[in-house]
Structure 1
Amino acid sequence: MLYIVLPAYNEDQALAELLEDIRTNCAQIPHQIVIVNDGSTDRTFDIVQQYTQDYNNIHGVNHEQNKGLGAAINSGFQYVLNHSYLIKDHDKKNCENKICPDIVITMDADNTQPANCIPLLYEEICSGSDLVIASRYVQGGEQHGLSLGRRGLSWGAGKVMQLFAPIKGVRDYSCGYRAYRLKLLAEGTRQYGPDIIVSRNFSGMVELLLKIAPFAERITEVPLKLHYELKKGASKMRIWATIWGYFQLIYQLKRNKWSTVEWAEE
């Protein structure tokens, strides 16, 4: 079974379009969608409720207050880990004569990451990868609509992490559009607890990668065409808080301590 986790904060202008895009691109893949409404102040919660009523493969998790991207991802993972065995329709799709494992995909809910990448991520896991990243930095990858500062931050984060924490097969450290074998997340949860991401800013996706990667035998990337110009509404990323988060990650890596730092607010 494929589980798609969507952390959503004030995405009422984009969420419905994304869900329809996912439905179109995943028509041949048995899938469940878990939307985590992270304390939105617009109509996101209402949209989630409507879709969960209309579609039995869409599930909602609600945060009464905004807790940040990392907490939303944590809640989505825990929902999947706690409910996957309860889902009756557990037929697995054959991929090249192999039975596909349970897979979790995370992606942004702002419709800037195209759903047509989901089948690529899915097939890559079915072909033997444990973790797959939709990457802007492999052949065929592109990014459009990002400011020079955002481009520099993502590129610089990758270069810094390649220096301090190289992971074979990884160029795009910060993109959260990824596919994981469910057992990989289960192992990460056993090691770090249910709140596997501690960071309260966008560096949390790098933190998650660094924690999960040691349990993966094979990590690969597929090309991503990011279209940030399609985003409706203001960006939620605070660049300086995210940069400070990267420095905190490096600090913790050097001391091998994941819970001793007071994380910067998002």
Structure 2
Amino acid sequence: MNEITVMLPAYNEEGNIIELIKKWENYKSTLKLHYQLDLQIVIINDGSVDQTKVIAERLQEDYDNLKLINHPVNQGLGMAVKTGIEYVLKNSSNSEYICFMDCDNTHDPKYIRDMIDKQKETHADVVIASRYQEGASVRGLSKLRRFTCQAAKRVYGTSLHVKGVRDYTCGYRLYKRTILEKLKDKFKDQMIEESGFACMTELLYKLYACGAVFAEVPFELRYDFKQGDSKMKIIRTSINSMKLVIKLKRIKT
């Protein structure tokens, strides 16, 4: 049977990871019944200094469909995502879909059905859970973060012009395995070079350079459910984002 592999990059998520895994496990039978997909989960522990690794090890013992990958030291979101892509391409040949999402309970697994349905309807290579489609909402985000997100949307939208994309930065995405194989073949070890949050835009644009077709579904971002401090450094992320736009525009599409 084909699989869907859920990739969860995690850094200091001791207060979030158990609840998130339980939510995903509740969808195991639904994915099998409605889509004939076995659920696999991979936690990429990116050098957490809290109890994330210990908790993930215990979860790995409790669930036979869960795998833990450890980075001994923190390398950043970009490297965690890269590790996840490389792992699934090498070790999970039956994974038709690969889903990445944040591991802080701000993203709800319930939207996976909308994302799969959208992929089947549009034949998109990438389906994004978007904050900017009709019906989407955001709860618990500070005014500064809201402003930063809106600014990023405008900068990326006017600079990169990727058809079908409004949300360039959300990490909750469903990928077809075939498009990630094209990414690896075209960019090799340079498929993700950004270590921070800008990696999500880099990945999106490089997939676009590989001919990816994109679609979006609305979702509710629940930042009020998050336990622990934000890992985003707003000023640094904003500066890196501007530098990234200049770099990405040099890529042939």
* CA spacing shift, 1:204–1:217, aligned 2, 3 Å: closer
| 1:197 match | 192
Contact 1:78 1:194 in 2 (8 A): no
Tell me the secondary structure at the aligned position of residue 102 of structure 1. Answer: strand
Provide the rounded CA distance (Å) in 1 between the counterparts of 2:6 and 2:146: 26
- 1:104 corresponding residue in structure 2: 98
- Could you tell me which of 69, 72, 75 is aligned with 2:83? 75
Q: Distance in 2 between matches of 1:254 and 1:120?
A: 31
SS of residue matched to 1:16: helix
Alignment equivalent of 1:44, drawn from 27, 40, 52: 52
Tell me the matched-pair count.
243
Cα deviations across residues 26-58 of structure 1 (Å, max 9, x unaligned)? 422121111000000111111111121221211
Q: Which residue of 2 aligns with 1:141?
A: 136
Give the direction of change, closer, same or farther, for the CA distance of 1:217–1:195 in structure 2 (3 Å limit). closer
Q: Which of residues 31, 35, 46 is equivalent to 2:43?
A: 35
Q: Deviations over 1:97-145 (max 9, x none)?
A: xxxx701110000011111111211222233221100001101100011
CA contact (8 A) 2:160 2:249 kept: no
1:228: how far off?
0.2
Measured in 1, the distance between the counterparts of 2:244 and 2:125 equals 23
CA change 1:23–1:194 in 2 (3 A) is: farther
CA change 1:44–1:233 in 2 (3 A) is same
Quick one: which of 235, 239, 243 aligns to 1:244?
239
Is 1:54 the counterpart of 2:54? The answer is: no
Q: Structure 2 CA distance, aligned partners of 1:50 and 1:42?
A: 14
TM-score normalized with structure 2 length? 0.92
Aligned pair partner of 2:229 in 223, 226, 234: 234
**Segment drifting more, 113-122 vs 15-24:** 113-122
Any residues of structure 2 matched to 1:75-224 within 5 Å, and which?
75-85=83-93, 90=94, 102-127=96-121, 128-224=123-219
Match for 1:19: what amino acid?
I
| Alpha-carbon offset, residue 169 of structure 1 | 1.0
| Distance (Å, rounded) in 2 between the aligned partners of 1:243 and 1:190 | 30
Q: What fraction of aligned residue pairs are identical, expressed as a percent?
A: 37
1:22 deviation in Å? 1.0
Conserved? CA contact 1:38–1:72, under 8 Å: yes
Could you report, residue by residue, the CA deviation over 1:137-172 in whole angstroms, capped at 9, with x for unpaired residues?
Answer: 101100011111111111111111111110111111
Q: Give the equivalent residue in structure 1 for 2:72.
A: 64
Give CA deviations for 1:179-223 in whole Å, capped at 9, x if unaligned.
110111111111112452211221111111011123345311001
- Please tell me the root mean square deviation across aligned C-alpha atoms, in Å: 1.5
Distance 2:223 2:211 in 1: 30
The 1:208–1:130 alpha-carbon spacing in structure 2 relative to 1, beyond 3 Å, is same
TM-score in terms of structure 1 length = 0.87
> Do the aligned partners of 2:137 and 2:220 also contact (CA within 8 Å) in 1?
yes
Matched, 1:225 2:232: no
CA contact (8 A) 2:119 2:215 kept: no
Q: Which protein is richer in helix relative to its size?
A: 2
1:234 positional shift: 0.5
1:174, 1:209 → 2: CA distance?
A: 9
Give the AA of the match of 2:106. T
| 5+ long unaligned stretches in structure 1 | 91-100, 258-266
Partners in 2 of 1:199 and 1:193 — Cα distance?
A: 14
